[in-house]
Amino acid sequence: MTTEPRRLRNYINGEFRDAADGRTTDVVNPATGEVYATAPLSGAADVDAAMAAAEEAFPAWRDLVPAERQKVLLKIADAIEARAEDLITVESENTGKPLALTRSEEVPPMVDQIRFFAGAARLLEGRSAGEYMEGMTSIVRREPVGVCAQVAPWNYPMMMAVWKFAPALAAGNTVVLKPSDTTPASTVLLAEIIGGVLEELGHPKGVFNVVCGDRDTGRLMVEHPVPAMASVTGSVRAGTQVAASAAKDVKRVHLELGGKAPVVVFEDADLAKAVEDIAMAGYFNAGQDCTAATRVLVHESVHDEFVTALAKAAADTKTGRPDDEDVLYGPLNNANQLKQVAGFIDRLPAHAKVEAGGHRVGDKGYFYAPTVVSGLKQDDEIVQNEVFGPVITVQSFTDEDQAVAHANGVEYALASSVWTKDHARAMRMSKRLDFGCVWINTHIPLVAEMPHGGFKKSGYGKDLSAYGFEDYTRIKHVMTSLG
């Protein structure tokens, strides 16, 4: 017997709907390579309907006092916590991620982040009112921007959905969210949960909407005249296309794009800890993380020792099916991503050496072995471009200046880390590294209170923190005559 694929649907104005023209796309479980669901391939009519619903709901949602929006978000966090096992199961099927790690490393931060933004809703800070011109009092209002068109990526479908909708809703905006076409299932389940909370508390149905589809669907959302803001997490190519489209009607844009995080290891670092933590931060989620520790720069005096230890750590790292509790990561997300990662290894220059891995694992699903590549030069393709897979490259450097030059010598500027026992050196490096985040003697931890976002081709705008919250607001000056 064959199991009929599950049918996913859009969530528009409080209702689950098929695409208006009935088109669908297959959704594949990357751990098996088999179709497990179909999702709407939404077109202009679906986007129009979702935008109309969000636009209609906006005035009532905007005009709620912050305490009421906080109440909704706290209720959403509670509801997600109560449905955690359902979300974990769906997300694992969505992505092939290990069940145990999804349970421990994704759901708790998601719930915490929603609760953080629930609190932020009641703490919109601004300059105090005052008289800056004789006879006049000025005040500053912070207001929601309006309808937000949001496009989430496939590497963390649930968590990135939270990073999108939580600050937007907390600030008083309404949302039309599109998940990746390869990972829509958990976002559709989130729509069921969020929609249930909105209905229970009597709020407008169109506050939160989900539209499934492909790149064309995303383009239609960004180009639509209703949204005041487009927020996209994705590739640099996607980001430049979004920025160009949004420029036509001067739409606000929030972009979190790729990364190529340098991991600078000095000779005085605790090498054992560095190797252990870097392997974890490089291979977690199959390296499909914009902040992954995938580009190591290590001082020449400890280079060989480090490479040997990292290759052993890679060999000891396990990938496999979601229900195997011993695995660190699951498959790559899709067949195209497997082809991309393998292509980087196939095209390595002659001077590069594969110290570990460098091959597909098994013939079912999209698994790739933990890989270490040494002997690289700064202008090599694999050093300059984002692999987005379980591949860690290693280069050597001679001194601090060369380390900085190599670290900064890429087009990305999202995250970085420095490994040293020298406090002054760590402070110098944190100043000189041109990245939105610098970790010292660690790599990849995130907290809701601190901003996440990059420079250069990694995009602009911040996720998380009060800064991320403020990105979803606009500032208005109000001046009144005292006469």
User: How do the pLDDT tens digits run along the chain, 483 residues long?
Assistant: 457 899 999 999 999 999 999 999 999 999 999 999 999 999 999 999 999 999 999 999 999 999 999 999 999 999 999 999 999 999 999 999 999 999 999 999 999 999 999 999 999 877 788 999 999 999 999 999 999 999 999 999 999 999 999 999 999 999 999 999 999 999 999 999 999 999 999 999 999 999 999 999 999 999 999 999 999 999 999 999 999 999 999 999 999 999 999 999 999 999 999 999 999 999 999 999 999 999 999 999 999 999 999 999 999 999 999 999 999 999 999 999 999 999 999 999 999 999 999 999 999 999 999 999 999 999 999 999 999 999 999 999 999 999 999 999 999 999 999 999 999 999 999 999 999 999 999 999 999 999 999 999 999 999 999 999 999 999 999 999 998
Q: What pLDDT score does 2 carry?
A: 54
- Do 377 and 266 lie in one domain? The reply is yes
For residues 343 and 363, give the distance between their C-alpha atoms in angstroms, rounded to a whole number.
Answer: 17
- Flag whether 35 is in a domain: yes
Residues 188 and 226 in one domain: yes
Q: Which domain holds residue 360?
A: 262-448
Residue 26 φ then ψ, to 5°:
-75, 145
φ, ψ (nearest 5 deg) of residue 94: -60, -40
Q: Are 147 and 176 in contact (CB under 8 A)?
A: yes
- At 33 the three-state DSSP class reads coil
Report d(CA 39, CA 181) in Å as an integer.
8
| Residue 120, in any domain of the structure | yes
Task: Say yes or no: 465 and 373 in one domain.
Answer: no
Which residues are known to be catalytic? 256, 290
Q: What's the CATH number where 139 sits?
A: 3.40.605.10
Got the DSSP string for 374-387? ES--TTSHHHHS--
Element (H, E) at 466: helix 465-470
Same domain assignment for residues 228 and 311: no
Question: What is the reported pLDDT for 1?
Answer: 47
Please choose, from the candidates 299, 291, 335, the residue with its C-alpha nearest in 3D space to the C-alpha of residue 96.
335
Same domain, 230 and 374: no
Report pLDDT for 124: 83
Strands (E), 357-433: 371-374, 391-397, 412-413, 415-419
Strand-by-strand arrangement of the 147-151 sheet:
15-17, 10-12, 208-210, 174-178, 147-151, 229-233, 252-256, 459-460
| 301 and 249 part of one domain | no
Helix-helix angle 66-82:185-200, to 10 degrees: 130
